[in-house]
Amino acid sequence: MDLRIWGGKVLSKYENQITIFADYLEEFPDTDELVWILGKQHLLKTEKSKLLSDISARLWFTYRRKFSPIGGTGPSSDAGWGCMLRCGQMMLAQALICRHLGRDWNWAKQKEQPKEYQRILQCFLDRKDCCYSIHQMAQMGVGEGKSIGEWFGPNTVAQVLKKLALFDEWNSLAVYVSMDNTVVIEDIKKMCHTLPLSAETAAESPPECLNDSTQSDELIFLDPHTTQTFVDTENGTVDDQTFHCLQPPQRMNILNLDPSVALGFFCKEEKDFDSWCSLVQKEILKENLRMFELVQKHPSHWPPFVPPAKPEVTTTGAGKLLFRSSLASRPMDSSCFMRQKQLWVMFSMEMKNCYSAALIKEWCFF
C-alpha cells in the first residue's frame, strides 16, 4: 500500500487493517524469560505490571488530525504519511527523557510531572512553533527532497532531526547520523566530548514501526498508526494521557522487521560512548555479516567532516523562512562545542538478511 496517499477511503481501510492486526495479538505469556525495554530488564512472570508501566511511560506519538494546516495551506492531518515522522519523534523524545530525567524516570496517570517532562512534551506538540513538531519536520523535509504530505523513510527522518536539533538550544543535543552504514569515532568526538545507553529502532513499513524492545524472538513496539485528535494547548496546559500508550503494547516476530531501519543511541558521558564502542567491537564487528561498521578515523576518500551548525536563516516578504545551508563553513570553537553538547547517535541501514535482524535481538536491546 502506498502510504503517501492520505485520502479518507484509503486511510479508513488502512486503519482497519491495523486494528485487525492488533486484535490477533495474544497477551504476554507466563514464562521465566527476561524482557528488555530500552536497556532495562524485566522478568515477565513476576514483573509484568512493572513491564507495562515502563512501556506506558514512553512518549507515544501517533497520527493526529485537526491541527493547523502545515505551511498554512497544507494538510491538517498526517494520517497515512506521518508514521515515520512519529517514530522519529518517539526516538528523540526518549533521548530527551534520558538526558533530563534519566532512564529510571516513570510516568503515572493523573500524577503531577516534573517541569522538564512538560517542556520535553512541548517540543513535540502539533504546532508550527514547536521545535520537533510534525509541522517543522515536514517543512524541513522539503530540503531533503520530500514534499509536504509525502511519506519519509528512516534516513530522511534522521537527517531532518539532525537539522532541527541545531535550533534546539535548551536540549543542547548533538545528533550524529552515520554515512554509508559507518560510524566514525573521530567525527563523533569532534562533535561532542562529553558523551546509560538506550537503544531504539524505527522501521520502514507498517506495522513494524518499532520503538521498544524484545522478548524471545519477538519485538515489542509502539505503533503510530492510530489517528487521534490534535491536543489544544492554548490554555497553557497539556492533557498528556493521549501521549502515552495505556493499552497493552503490540508485538511482532523479529524476522518480520523491515530491513530498512534507523537505530538511535543516547550517550550522556564520554565513558558511555567508549563503552558503546567496546560493546560494538565485541558483539558486532567480530561477525562476518555486520549490521554496520565502526571505525576510528575519518575515511580519507570521504569529504572532510564539518560539525553541523545552525543554518543561516532569512525571511522573505511573505514571512517564509529560507535556510541558506545545512552545514556552516565558518570557523567554530570546537572545544566549546564539545563541552556543551551531549550526543545522540543515529544511523539508518539496510539489513541484508535475517541473521542481521537476529543481531538486533541479541545486542541492540541489551
Residue 202: CB partners within 8 Å, gap ≥ 6?
Answer: 84, 87, 88, 90, 91, 154, 157, 209, 210, 211, 261, 262, 264
Q: What distance in Å separates the CA atoms of residue 353 and residue 179, rounded to the nearest whole number?
A: 20
Residues pairing with 345 in the sheet: 176, 265
Half-sphere exposure of 161 (CA within 13 A, CB side): 35
Q: What distance in Å separates the CA atoms of residue 114 and residue 177, rounded to the nearest whole number?
A: 30
DSSP characters for 236-247? Answer: S---GGGGS--S
Half-sphere exposure of 276 (CA within 13 A, CB side): 27
Q: One of 78, 225, 245, 277 is an active-site residue; which one?
A: 225
Question: Residue for cell digits 509484568?
Answer: 48
DSSP-based three-state secondary structure for 181: coil
Q: One of 126, 212, 223, 272 is an active-site residue; which one?
A: 223
Alpha helices by DSSP H, listed for the chain, are: 8-23, 48-56, 83-100, 115-122, 134-140, 154-165, 185-191, 270-283, 334-340, 354-359
Task: For Cα atoms 348, 323, 116, give the angle at the middle one, nearest 5 degrees.
Answer: 65
Active site residue 225: yes
Residue 323, number of CB atoms within 10 A of its CB: 15
Q: One of 42, 78, 83, 135 is an active-site residue; which one?
A: 83
Active site residue 223: yes
Residues pairing with 215 in the sheet: 218
Alpha helices by DSSP H, listed for 313-361, are: 334-340, 354-359
Active site residue 83: yes
- Environment class of residue 65 by beta-carbon count within 10 Å: exposed (0-12), middle (13-18) or buried (19+)? middle
Catalytic positions are: 83, 223, 225
